[in-house]
Amino acid sequence: MKIKGHRFLVTGGAGFIGSHLVDLLLEEGASKVLIFDNFMRGGEYNLKEALKDKRVELFEGKSDLLNQEQLERATQGVDGVFHLASLCLAHCQDNPLLGVEINIMGTQNLLQACVKNHVQRVMFASSSSIYGNAKYSPMDENHPLETRNFYGATKIAGEALCRAFYYKYGLDYLAYRFMNIYGPRQDYLGVYIAIIIIIIDRLLNNTAPTIYGDGSQSFDFVYVEDACRSLILGMESSKTNECYNISTGKQTSVLNLFKTISQIMGKNIPPVFKPSTDHTLVTNRIGSTEKAKKDFGFEAKISLEEGLNRVIDWKVGRPGE
């Protein structure tokens, strides 16, 4: 389904990734973008420019994935849905039951509303957290699902629900296993990517950042613009009933991340190392890019250094993002 001329619902559209996606949908010519969000991790401050566009609408202010009536109204007349809303990893660890309710029951409710209102296609934001630590690298989509946390468990369930709705009702979908998405508008709640903002904050205050463990923990960092572009490609793709890693295929250690940020900011403050105590977190993750490239031509374009420059510009208020 082409973006131009079609109507889309974005759950979590006031959040970090969602708000960037709203911007891109408008650029691509969507005729309507409806935002469904409870503002737990975002707000209208992320949508300052988008809300000036008459094609954008906030659905009833704070919206609830557990409210079936709201979801059925929100999906009326919608061609496609980008389902980004979920309870984050940290909150799922603190309150597993709430994670199950929002991430699993909320997804069930949304998919049910999509079927009732004949929505053509759903893009489901899953997570690389479903994999756990890498058994091999790069991790492809056939990697074992060995999550260590409740968030990952809810995303596995979300993918299974999408698959069940596809086979029973013919609801087209793609599930995206995002690696670590970073960029302007990110907050402090992302267990893995929050370290970027924390390091920047510390260096701005000429304070030594803390690195837990030895800094060798390594991840695949994807700039938010690339992540949103992948969602557009997926919505426009003819592929269905598939899952994809959204990744760069490049691995960066926490220590090298710190060094790159320090170099960009012109700071020379050694970090403080402390023991890591959370054994539910992964320490090694890099995604294979082959399937997404082959099936709908997605390749990350923004280098880590360029992306970090944009985040720093945004954080310190320099011209740019």
Q: Which two tokens stand for residue 122?
A: 């759903």
Place of tokens 């630590």: 133
Phi, psi of 288 (to 5 degrees): -70, 140
DSSP-derived pairing of the beta strands 180-182 and 221-223: parallel
Cα distance between residue 134 and residue 113, in whole Å:
36
177, 141 contact by CB (below 8 A) = yes
DSSP H helical ranges for 60-130? 68-74, 89-94, 96-99, 106-116
Cα distance between residue 212 and residue 301, in whole Å:
30
Phi, psi of 32 (to 5 degrees): -155, 135
The count of residues in the chain is: 321
Residue 14 CB burial class (10 angstroms; 0-12, 13-18, ≥19): buried
Catalytic sites, residue numbers: 151
Place of tokens 């929505």: 119
